[in-house]
Amino acid sequence: MKLRKLAVWIPLVASGAFVSGHAMAAGFALQNQNGAGTGYAYAGSAAVAEDASTIFFNPAGMTYLAEGHHVTGALTLLDRSLEFKDRGTNQLRVAAPPVPAYPLGGDGGQAGGQSYVPAAFWTMSITPELRIGLGVSPTFGNATEWDDDFMGRYQGNYSEIKAINVNPSVAWKVNDLVSLGFGVNMVKFEADLRGMIPVTAALPATVDVENKLSGDDTGYGWNAGAMFQVTPTTRIGLTYRSSIDLKVKGKSENPAGSTPVQVKIELPDTASLALSQKIGERLELLADYTWTGWSSIPSLRVTHRGSGALLTDEHLGFKDAYRVGVGMQYQYTDALRLRAGLAYDESPVQSATDRTVRLPDSDRTWLAVGMNYKFTKQTSMDVGYAYLMFDEAKIRRQTVLGTTPTAQVVDGKFDTKVHILSVQLNHHF
């Protein structure tokens, strides 16, 4: 095969495009929108409303903050271990014998690593009943990087996405029982996907070259929330965040040249029902149920940006998923509040044939502890730690070159462990 014909294999990496990485919420979403929520596994976040980060979780919560300005800044460290264990992956051939098979390769090494998730929020009171605010945080992202000789390299060996959300919001306190909130979301989405392409130009030798697919787009959506102070000790939060349509435009680059490509994606919508229940003067119990509409991404249709020709249409098999969490806060002293939480987060990927090397996702359980410490009446700090335990993630996925299935099947399982450490500063003036 001549290098000038390499473009035929561009969809090899495009087939996993724009849903890469392995974020700490199910799928490729980022749950880590503040530091405080890490300490109670984000249970009941839509009903908590203790600092400016309520803009993301439920904008109606701004009305529960004291009048004036509130500023919150958070930084979360994600430390992820991700390894692949082979269970029978076979070599790739692009033609029948005597054409030799490509070297199988290894298990891919350590594909995880450390990443940082920043977030910042600000609110202010216009009147005692009317509040405005702004949040800036990544809502999707992280990266997965396998060794270049990984046996699944033809399905992808490097994946990174970045999605920054700018979220101006407004809230209105209708009365002592009901508060309403609304926000607009502007999402800047970027992706960098790489994989190896088999080249047979020098038969009987077999070699690989790398293909890089990159693209970006900006999409818009909205979110709304309500809080109900049912009794002086019982608060219910209800929130919805809309889906966001993206037309990600970019290019595919390899030694043969550059090809313009695009893919349409509908980022999922979410809905959450949360409860905050105070027991006595010091204890607060938290709980929530959150639904995410991951079925909005059933497959990826990657097309040529000029001609509109279909390059690949890869089935992902995403299913709608849910998350449930319970947590608590205990006011140990006037300055120190202790936290703990437990959550179960369902993955949208439920089949070994749908699971990809780019997104080796599975169901997970959160175990979390944390604290809030008040330095003064205006300034406080939150610290949270969570350990995520992932269910076994099997993969048995066929390798496709362009639109042509091959005889290679990546067969194995992924072993994932995650530690999360968050720090958050809050100031009121």
Strands 270-279 and 234-241, bridge-based pairing = antiparallel
What pLDDT score was predicted for residue 22?
42
Cβ count within 10 A of residue 377: 8
HEC-encoded secondary structure of the chain = CCHHHHHHHCHHHHCCCCCCCCCCCCCCECCCCCCCHHHHCCCCHHHHCCCCCHHHHCHHHHHHCCCCEEEEEEEEEEEEEEEEEECCCCCCCCCCCCCCCCCCCECCCCCCEEEEEEEEEEEEECCCCEEEEEEEEEEEEEEEECCCCECCCCCCCEEEEEEEEEEEEEEEECCCCEEEEEEEEEEEEEEEEEEEEEECCCCCCCEEEEEEEEEEEEEEEEEEEEEEEEECCEEEEEEEECCEEEEEEEEEEECCEEEEEEEEEEECCEEEEEEEEEECCCEEEEEEEEEECHHHCCEEEEEECCCCCEEEEEECCCCCEEEEEEEEEEECCCCEEEEEEEEEECCCCCCCCCCCCCCCCCCEEEEEEEEEEECCCCEEEEEEEEEEEECCEEEEEEEEECCEEEEEEEEEEEEEEEEEEEEEEEEEC
For residue 206, the model assigns a pLDDT of 64
Within 10 angstroms of residue 421's Cβ, the number of other Cβ atoms is 16
Positive/negative CA dihedral, 247, 249, 253, 259: positive
Contact 59, 171 (CB under 8 A): yes
């067969």: which residue's tokens? Answer: 411
Burial grade of 146 (CB within 10 A; 0-12, 13-18, 19 or more): buried
Report the C-alpha gap between 421 and 116 in whole angstroms.
10
- pTM reported for the whole predicted model: 0.89
Q: Measuring CA to CA, how many Å separate 251 from each of 142, 193, 215, 262, 265?
A: 21, 11, 7, 8, 16
Domain borders along the chain are 3-428
Q: How many angstroms separate the CA atoms of 107 and 119, rounded?
A: 35
Question: Structure tokens of 86?
Answer: 């082979």
Find how far residue 233's CA is from the centre of its chain: 33
CB 169 within 8 A of CB 185: no
Tokens read off for 372? 């809030």
The hierarchical CATH code for the domain 3-428 is: 2.40.160.60
Q: Are strands 299-304 and 310-315 parallel, antiparallel or unpaired?
A: antiparallel
Residue 93 pLDDT = 85
> 336-363 in b/e burial notation, b at 16+ Cβ within 10 A?
ebbbbbbbebbbbbeeeebbbbbbbbbb
pLDDT at 77: 94
pLDDT in tens, the chain (429 residues): 333 333 333 333 333 333 333 455 777 888 889 999 999 999 999 999 999 999 999 999 999 999 999 999 999 999 999 999 999 999 998 777 767 788 999 999 999 989 899 999 999 999 999 999 999 999 987 789 999 999 999 999 999 888 999 999 999 999 999 999 999 999 999 989 899 988 865 555 567 888 888 899 999 999 999 999 999 999 999 999 999 999 999 998 888 888 999 999 999 999 999 999 999 999 999 999 999 999 998 888 888 998 988 887 778 889 999 999 999 999 999 999 999 999 999 999 999 999 999 989 999 999 999 999 999 999 999 999 999 999 999 999 999 887 888 999 999 999 999 999 999 999 999
CB-CB neighbours of 396 under 10 Å: 17
C-alpha torsion sign, points 28, 33, 39, 42: negative
Determine the Cα–Cα distance for residues 399 and 12; give it in Å rounded to an integer: 8
CA proximity to 249, closest of 261, 259, 234: 261
Residue 282 phi/psi, 5° resolution? -120, -25
